[in-house]
Amino acid sequence: MYEDYDERGYNSRPVWQFVLVALCLVALLAGMAYRTYNQLVDKAEDVKLAESNAETLMQRRLELIPDLVATVKNFTKHEEQVFRDIDNARAALQVCLDNNDLEQLEEANKELNITIDSLKSVVVENYPELASSKAYTALMDQLEGSVNRIAVAREDYNEAVSAYNRAIKHFPTSIFASLFGYEEIDPFQADDDAHQNNMVDFG
């Protein structure tokens, strides 16, 4: 059988076979890296989109609060402490949204829920005419709807984060995730009190 020999008399076929195998392995790894990178990009974008949706809903809720305060002020000027608490809580949540500070967002959102609930209690107990007015009830309905939509958006975000985190932990994706700089993302965390406050009954 004919053999391939180089000028020194060595069989050159094993060398070319090794090179061919090495090239195939490189091509395989490159293909895996390409597919994995695209998958990671898609999952990271899903997280960003879900986060953006939640923040947009929170921003919309913040925009409703000045109208609510103005409506209550038309009936009373004697609840300045409640108004200040709402303004401070609203400002704190706005800062978290502006700075994309998810770590402090939960506490700020919880505090805002508490202050709005306090305002509602004051109105129901002391200003029954206001509590039954169309302007007040319409704003409360909008706030209730925004709270429910935010709760759904938070769940969507956590689902996207969970899918992303699972992906970067699975082998061999975990190798490429480390190489490409993809790190685990924290979901929204809410204790039982925060969850209850997110579902405040504004009716």
More confident residue, 92 or 76: 92
The token pair that represents 159 in the structure block: 């689902």
Identify the band that residue 13 occupies on the pLDDT scale cut at 50, 70 and 90. Answer: low
- The Cβ of residue 197 has, within 10 Å, a number of other Cβ atoms equal to 19
- Give the pLDDT of residue 174: 86
Largest CA distance in the chain: 106
Distance CA 68, CA 74 (A): 10
pLDDT at 11: 52
pLDDT digits (tens, 9 = 90+) for 79-133: 888 889 999 999 999 999 888 887 788 889 889 999 999 998 989 888 888 888 8
Of 9 and 186, which is predicted with more confidence?
A: 186
How many angstroms separate the first and last alpha carbons of the chain? Answer: 92
Close Cβ partners of 81 (under 8 Å, ≥ 6 residues apart): none
The residue with greater pLDDT, 21 or 106, is 106
User: Phi, psi at residue 146, to the nearest 5°?
Assistant: -65, -40
Three-class DSSP category at 11: strand
Q: Which of 87, 58, 81, 78 is nearest to 130 (CA)?
A: 78
Number of C-beta neighbours around residue 14 at 10 A: 10
pLDDT band at 4 (very low <50, low <70, confident <90, very high): low
Comparing CA positions, the residue from 173, 159, 144 lying closest to residue 34 is 173
Model confidence, pTM: 0.72
Model pLDDT, residue 195: 40
Residue type, 46: D
Q: CA 115, 116, 117, 123 torsion: positive or negative?
A: positive
Average model confidence (pLDDT) across the chain: 81
Q: What is the pLDDT of residue 27?
A: 74
Residue 68 CA to residue 174 CA, distance in Å, equals 49
How large a percentage of the chain has pLDDT more than 70? 84
Residue 85's pLDDT is what? Answer: 92
pLDDT of 167-198, one tens digit each? 899 888 888 888 888 899 988 875 444 444 33
Could you give the angle at the alpha carbon of 195 between the alpha carbons of 193 and 197, nearest 5°? 70
Distant-in-sequence, close-in-space partners of 63: CB < 8 Å, separation ≥ 6: none
Q: What percent of the chain has pLDDT over 90?
A: 32
Q: Quick count: other Cβ atoms within 10 Å of Cβ 156?
A: 16
Residue 159's pLDDT is 94
